[in-house]
Structure 1
Amino acid sequence: MEHHEQNNPTVSPAAERLRHILGEDDSAPTPTIFTEMDTLQHEGGELEWKESARWVKFEEKVEEGGERWSKPHVSTLTLHSLFELRTCLQTGSILLDLEGYSLPQIVGESRADGLVSPDLREKISFVLLRKHRHQTKKPMHRSLADIGKSSNAATSKCTYHAQSRSMNDISDTPSTDQLKNKFMKKIPRDAEASNVLIGEVDFLDKPFVSFVRLAQATTLGGLTEVPVPTRFLFILLGPHGKSKSYNEIGRAIATLMVDDLFSDVAYKARDRDDLIAGVDEFLDEVIVLPPGEWDPKIRIEPPKKVPSAEMRHMNGSAGGAAGGEDEALPAQHEIGEELKFTGRFAGGLWLDFKRKIPWYCSDIYDGFHIQSISAVLFIYLGCITNAITFGGLLGDATDNYQGVMESFLGTALAGTVFCLFGGQPLIILSSTGPILIFEKLLYEFSKSNSIDYMELRLWIGLHSGLQCLLLVLSDASYIIKYMTRFTEEGFSSLISFIFISDAIKKMVGNMLTYQGESTFREKTKYFNLTDLDWSQLSKKECAKYAGTLVGNSCKYVPDLALMSFILFFGTYSMTVSLKKFKFSRYFPTKVRQKLISDFAIFMSIMSFVGLDMLIGLDTPKLIVPTEFKPTRPDRGWLVMPFGKNPWWWYLASAVPALLVTILIFMDQQISAVIVNRKENKLKKGCGYHLDLFWVGVLMAACSFLGLPWYVAATVISIAHIDSLKMESESSAPGEQPQFLGVREQRLTGILVFVMTGLSIFLAPVLQYIPMPVLYGVFLYMGVASLSGIQFWERIKLYLMPAKHQPDFSFLRHVPLRRVHLFTLVQIICLAVLWILKSTFLAIVFPVMILGLMVVRKLLDLMFSQHDLAWLDDILPDKDKKKKEDEKKSRKERRAAEPESDEEVRELTHTHTHTHTHTDVVQYSIIVAS
């Protein structure tokens, strides 16, 4: 395969040379490079080096006023400066693996290569050994015109001896200012420095250029603003009149030094040609912006994601980035080996046990970390908010057969058991929208047919628990890999619209119930002609004297409908605003995200509960028992299985139980797939079969106790993972912290659910929560679930002219009419599900959701696999066939490879000789275009 790539005419000679350089050494990765550029300045009759810019990943420059750093931005270089840099490296001094432990020694070696006359060496040494003043020391007032200014009288005032007064400023140990510099937090450990020195002097007729790589990184005292050992030095001194050109060359080499690919070359280069090959490869990937179509003064914000050096190395070819339009197919939805069909009785469950048992102890002690405290507090508030919300809505839907008390107790029981013994303890169990909808439909069915709801629900739970166990024993969870984005989006969109619809219906019904007089109207028609002026008495005094209230105005009732709407819409609006606050520019990131955005729902509930208490109107409140007893007084903590319904219902309940099982299976496993996705970098494995086993067992237990059913809650589970994410301790300015993985453990989940169970003693406080506030949270949950769904984004495309549509990747590769057709199919499926949900067939809607998988299979007949890869996920069978085709094509290519190593060596030798000429012609074409 390697021979074939060398024979590929699209691969440049520079890329081939780099593959030899970088492929020879498989040692540890090269350190991160911090680059500082200093320019020679004349201040008060003395020469000194002043810091003008710095790079860790992106460029930061000292602003014109000299008192602050600019925001990190992408370096924009002129193509001419890159060519000049290439020329500098071709003609200048290149010293690789130089032995040097102090700046004077290094300077002495760098000028001793015979490129300059002896009389100029002392002058160059004098200039290079001037003191360095960094941005942290004092404000620097300068402009671009000042860069490189030096004193013409420098020669007369100085004797050019290396042992001048400024030499005392150069120490081999870091200064106090360096050690106190907070910028060190942005630089990774084991980083090394690259110093770029640019200046104009009056004693040179042509530029002096030197590139130095030290054999060992050495701390050179105050040369760098932070105490980082220096590995590279680039020196450019030249005659007056070209300060801007020198400055651009310095920015060019500084930008190359922080480039992942070139920095590898700089560390491993063996000679001058290797360095020039690195510059050539950089030029091959450069994108030229037409000067008439772009303002160079505009600073480009750092991108959220950039290609890695490994990817660039693999795909490196001449002009590889110039097109910029070719994109690889989106990464397919990969599911690990945990969902492979074993074909054995309980084979998947047994493998889950074997996979999780070795990690069980670490799942406990890995939780002893300071990060776990914030995760526990955050998820606890999310869980009790969910328990209050769904408990209140369940009580409303089931006539208080299940309420907030049952919700708290069930959440604590199910969550604690699952976190102790489940396959993926990062999953948070909770009541979910689909379960709430089924409970509502089941209660209405029981009520209309005079069936005891709790007894019927018990038998449905027992049958469903047994069916879940059968699914576990038969490895049925493997079919989840056939659920693509099409099915997931249809399922989540239906639930979102049901949430929104039910919240609005509840609020409208609430407003119709509490309509009342909202204004005071004078309708006094009765007069009491006695000595007592009754009109001057208050209502309390009137009752004291046995008076009677007469007139419509006396029966004034506050407008509870308006107040309820204020609480409802205010809760929703405040939650949305606080969630979006993390994207604002106010307050530090941790305050915006960790304090305000993450606790948006809790803060909104508390705010509008406080408003309701302050106004003091009798709005409808959450019904919560003040004692530890069921919400409904005519039921106990244990549901009896016999005695209230006909015997045949005990068998017939297996049919609705099948619907519940489908619902539980899909909700649990889809959520588990999202939690266990590859992007989360989980290392301890997962257990789909083990998770479903415990969900089934807990479902049967909760049915006996009359508690709500629990399943994986996607939103809270994702929040749990987000709160436990581990990131690199330092990140370059403008660069996103590197995601390292998730702190996988069981302790946070156990503590959260134990605390939730203890929250049943908050019942006297919870009864102050108005129901409209919970309806507002319900509305937000429905709307928030739509965000980030590609289906919803494609629906909005119907209302946008083509020129105003967002730059979605699928719009680049799939014709718009095909996108609209795919969206239309999803809309029709969603409409059918909604109609079924609104009729007497509503109880069978889980089966209809499975029907989405059948529709997705039929879409293979309407759309090409290319279109489906961008709009959805390719089904596993299709993906397997595609991989087999790729494997076959690779075999055919391998047959066309050169048969001998001599051919390859001869080809490489020929390319090396024609290297410079080919690249120069290529660059001319780039400039001309």
Structure 2
Amino acid sequence: MPPKSNDIEAGQAIKRLPSNAELVPHAGKITMDEPAYFGKGIIKDLKTTVGTHWRQEMTNFNQKTVAVSMLMFITVIAPTLAFGASYSTATESHIGAIETILATAWIGCAYSFIGGMPLCIIGSTGPVLAFTTVLYDMSKNMDIPFYTFYAWVSVWMLIYAFLCSFFDLTRFVRLATRFTDDIFAFLIVSIFVIKAIGDPFGGVDGILFPFDPNHKTHQNQDADYDFLQVALLGVILGFGTTWLIFYLRSFKNSSFFCSDTMRSSIHDFSVTFSVLIWTIVSKVIFKDVEVASLNVPDQFEPTYQCCDDACTMFFPKECPDQAERAGVRSWFADMADTNGKGWVPIAAAGPAVLAFFLLYLDNGITWHLIMHKSNNVHHGEAYNYDLLLSGCFNFVNGLLGLPWLVATTVPCIVHLNSLAEKDKDGNILHVQETRLTMLFSHMCVGFSILALDLLKLLPLPVLNGVFLFMGVSALPGIQFWNRFLLFFQQPSKYPETPYTKYMDKGRIHLFTIIELFFFAMVFVVQNIKAVAVVFPMMTFFCIPARTHLLPRIFEGWELVLLDGDIFEIQEWIDRKTDSVAEYEASLRGDLSEYEDDATQ
């Protein structure tokens, strides 16, 4: 039996080995930052980001900059056009693909110059699309011109963004920890993977959907058309694109090719090479098989076409007997055109509250995920400043009849990972923090308006393969996913992490089960169209669950190992290592080193 704490060996008392809970007082507790009221947070954000690092971020041009810019162009343009088609359907062509391209291009370029966190990619999201659909239905029911109502909601949204930034209310979203970040990230990643393969909930085109003989891509085809042939080629193109990207990226750590520069080039341009190769396969080798291509508008002009000069009816749907359109809608909304209802500017303040909440949460949670300490991003946060910018950008979009844009999670993760250098375990060692990749990629989005016919050459299955890569490649960086895999692994073969080393596996699994429960709630709400618009609010509820529920189930040190940042985890491990070493030294009767440290 080991000696008791009051035994004496070599004239010294044996130290008591402290419990895990005693190592770090108040471990696992989450505290709110001190508020920076009256615009102080905006000024601080501006000074510590744009004011400090702008020149470096605008001049660190290298090969990786070019490769990541091309990757992000492919990553951004496809969902931009896909959301454009969805907006066109949901708003009866009041907003369409041209509007989403223009909005994405100008905001991306502007944000790359003046934004505070340029690693975060701006784009369209499902919740914002769902809410815009609600606004459109409201405008029809109230007999108000949509563009007018949309513009006034944008005005109020800017006011709310200013107030929230001015009084530093973004500090509430900074209460989020890995628990909330992982749930949100895994939700977005799962959406990308499901939609790339084939979404059973929303009917969005995926790699497997052409196997349905009634799929829309098979309609109005020749008698010799073979839908199974098209579907099989789509599967080869889609999964082939994903496989080739991963295969080319694997060369970075291989022994093949003659230099690190060559291997890095293949890794950096893997997505571009894969898209080009499989597009050539489709258009040259299998040119007789009519695989679906990207849905691209024919010319650059507002999507809404008018039956008359007043532009009150949509051509040709509302005037089928009319041979030609009278024109297209104006780029600027007439905010005075309320159809005789003077209360519209005030009434818009109500729905703007929920619109702003979407803006606040979609942006805030994505920003928090990207700026997590484990990502080793050092150029500072800018929650208040960037929220104000987002309000300004979307105010302009509202006046122009363009879609509102927010930070998009998966493209942000892909952007971060593509600019990062990692160790063999996937931990981020360094990130090239630059504004150039967002600038160049969104400039390409803008220039694509001048080359719409070239975009039509991109096979849809190839782009779905890129989406699948984006989702799958993001999974290893989500601790929730790694802990979920532990359910299917032999305990003695668990990868060595702080929580697997020091915690009982049952406690780890309990934490993962709770996380699965909250993920399931958010996932279900997101896929029920009637309530999908409130899914960011459901994600926000994960924050009080972490601050108030989990501390009642887990000890503080367990929450540190499972949910803390790298500095909290390292502090606890250091205390644990020191306490064990001191205890073992006391058993040997050799505490001189620790006594010297205590007296200094």
- Give the TM-score, by structure 2 length: 0.71
Secondary structure (helix, strand or coil) at the match of 2:387 reads: helix
The structural deviation recorded for 1:579 is: 3.8
Aligned to 2:74: 385
Q: Pick from 557, 566, 569: which aligns with 2:236?
A: 566
The structure that is helix-richer by fraction is: 2
Q: Does 1:702 align with 2:374?
A: no
Rounded Cα–Cα distance in structure 1 between residues aligned with 2:345 and 2:262: 53
Deviation string for 1:865-899 (max 9, x for gaps)?
Answer: 011111112899xx8xx99xx9xxx9xx9xxxxxx
Give 2:512's aligned residue: 823
- Partner Cα distance (1:373, 1:776) in 2: 27
For the residue of structure 2 that corresponds to 1:555, the secondary structure is coil
Match of 1:795 in 2: 484
Q: Partners in 2 of 1:406 and 1:588 — Cα distance? A: 46
* Of 91, 106, 123, the match for 1:413: 106
Q: Secondary structure at the match of 1:707?
A: coil
Report what 1:555 is aligned to. Answer: 223
Counterpart CA distance in 1 for 2:400 and 2:224 is: 46
Counterpart AA for 1:638: F
Aligned counterparts of 1:844 and 1:669: Cα–Cα separation in 2:
15
User: Any idea what the Cα deviations from partners look like across 1:197-254, whole Å, max 9, x if unmatched?
Assistant: xxxxxxxxxxxxxxxxxxxxxxxxxxxxxxxxxxxxxxxxxxxxxxxxxxxxxxxxxx
- Aligned equivalent of 1:512: 212
- 1 CA distance for matches of 2:250 and 2:340? 51
Would the aligned equivalents of 2:209 and 2:215 in 1 still touch at CA under 8 Å? no
Give 1:864 deviation, angstroms.
0.4
Decide whether the 8 Å contact of 1:374 with 1:723 is kept in 2. no
C-alpha displacement of 1:696: 1.2
For residue 448 of structure 2, the aligned residue among 759, 778, 784 is 759
1:834 aligned partner: 523
Native 8 Å contact 2:131 2:355 kept in 1: no
Provide the rounded CA distance (Å) in 2 between the counterparts of 1:333 and 1:500: 33
Pick one of 584, 599, 621 that aligns with 2:293.
621
- Equivalent positions of 1:613-692 (< 5 A) are 613-614=283-284, 615-616=286-287, 617-631=289-303, 633=305, 636=329, 637-641=331-335, 642-643=337-338, 654=349, 656-676=351-371, 685-692=380-387
Q: Which residue of 1 aligns with 2:88?
A: 399
**Matches for 1:539-550 after TM superposition, within 5 Å:** none
Name which of structure 1's ranges 396-405 and 739-748 shifts more when overlaid on structure 2.
Answer: 739-748
Q: CA deviation at 1:824?
A: 0.9
Counterpart CA distance in 2 for 1:831 and 1:681 is: 30
Q: In structure 2, how many angstroms separate the alpha carbons of the residues matched to 1:644 and 1:771?
A: 42
State the 1:479 CA deviation: 1.9
Change (3 A) 1:436 1:812: same
Q: CA 1:458–1:350 in structure 2 vs 1: closer, same or farther (change >3 Å)?
A: same
The answer to whether the aligner puts 1:427 opposite 2:427 as a matched pair is: no
Matches within 5 A, 1:106-505: 340-355=33-48, 359=52, 363-364=54-55, 367-368=58-59, 372-399=61-88, 401=93, 402=95, 404-424=97-117, 426-431=118-123, 435-440=125-130, 442-443=132-133, 446=136, 457-503=150-196, 504-505=198-199
**Shift of residue 493, structure 1, vs aligned partner:** 1.4
> Aligned equivalents of 1:382 and 1:797: distance in 2?
32
What CA distance in whole angstroms lies between the structure 2 residues aligned with 1:811 and 1:420? 43
Shift of 1:682: 6.2
The equivalent residue for 2:322 is: none
When residues 773 and 333 of structure 1 are mapped into structure 2, their CA distance, relative to the original with a 3 A threshold, is: farther
1:679-708 CA distance string (max 9 Å, x none) = 676665443221211111111112222334
Shift of 1:777: 2.6
1:865 matches 2:559? no
| 1:517-528 correspondence runs (5 A) | none
Quick one: distance in 2 between partners of 1:365 and 1:343? Answer: 27
Match of 1:606 in 2: 276
Question: Hey, what's the Cα distance between the residues in 2 that align with 1:848 and 1:566?
Answer: 38
Name the amino acid aligned to 2:404. W
Give the fraction of aligned pairs with identical amino acids, expressed as a percent: 25
User: Which residue of structure 1 lines up, in the alignment, with residue 406 of structure 2?
Assistant: 711
**SS of 1:391 mapped into structure 2:** helix
Distance 1:620 1:414, change over 3 A: same
Question: Take 1:651 and 1:593, find their aligned partners in 2: how far apart are those partners?
Answer: 59
Q: Structure 2 vs 1, CA of residues 744 and 823 (structure 1 numbering), >3 Å: closer, same or farther? A: closer
Amino acid of the structure 1 residue aligned with 2:282: D
The alpha-carbon deviation at position 743 of structure 1 amounts to: 6.2
Partner AA of 1:779 in structure 2: L
> Is residue 519 of structure 2 the alignment partner of residue 804 of structure 1?
no
> Offset of 1:502 from its aligned partner?
3.0
Given residue 691 of structure 1, which amino acid in structure 2 is its aligned partner? D
Q: Which has the higher contact order (CA 8 A, sep 6+)?
A: 2
For structure 1, which runs of at least 5 residues remain unmatched after alignment? 1-8, 11-324, 519-553, 728-733, 894-903, 909-929
In structure 2, distance between residues paired with 1:463 and 1:474: 17
- Equivalent residue for 2:534, pick from 801, 821, 844: 844
State how far apart, in whole Å, the 2-side matches of 1:757 and 1:428 are: 18
CA deviation after TM superposition for structure 1 residue 487, in Å: 0.5
Alignment root-mean-square deviation, CA: 4.4
Q: Larger Cα Rg: Structure 1 or Structure 2? A: 1
Per the TM alignment, residue 385 of structure 1 is displaced from its structure 2 partner at its CA by: 1.0
TM superposition shift of 1:416: 2.3
1:792 to partner: Cα distance: 1.0
SS of the residue corresponding to residue 564 of structure 2 reads: coil
One-letter amino acid matched to 2:237: L
More strand by share: 1
Give the aligned length.
508
Quote the offset at 1:832 in angstroms: 1.4
CA contact (8 A) 2:374 2:566 kept: no
Q: Which residue of 1 aligns with 2:3?
A: none
CA separation in 2, counterparts of 1:875 and 1:806? 17
> Distance between the aligned counterparts of 1:495 and 1:725, measured in 2?
21
Classify the secondary structure of the residue corresponding to 2:492.
Answer: helix
Q: Which moved more, 1:756-765 or 1:628-637?
A: 628-637
Deviation digits for residues 319-361 of structure 1 (CA, Å, limit 9, x no counterpart): xxxxxx9xx98xx99999xx943453112113334445753xx
Q: Provide structure 2 residue ranges, at least 5 long, that are not aligned to the other structure.
A: 1-8, 11-19, 200-204, 307-327, 583-591
**How far has the Cα of 1:453 moved from its partner?**
6.3
Distance 1:874 1:638, change over 3 A: same
Per the alignment, in what secondary structure is the counterpart of residue 481 of structure 2? helix
| Cα distance between partner residues in 2 of 1:703 and 1:686 | 27
- Tell me, in whole angstroms, the C-alpha distance in 1 between the residues paired with 2:565 and 2:72: 35
* 2: CA distance, partners of 1:333 / 1:665: 26
Q: 1:602 to 1:710 in 2, by over 3 A?
A: farther
Task: Answer yes or no: is the 8 Å Cα contact 2:377–2:431 preserved in 1.
Answer: yes
Amino acid of the structure 1 residue aligned with 2:269 = F
1:862 CA displacement:
0.7
What secondary structure does 2:457 align onto? coil
- Matching residue's letter, 1:835: V
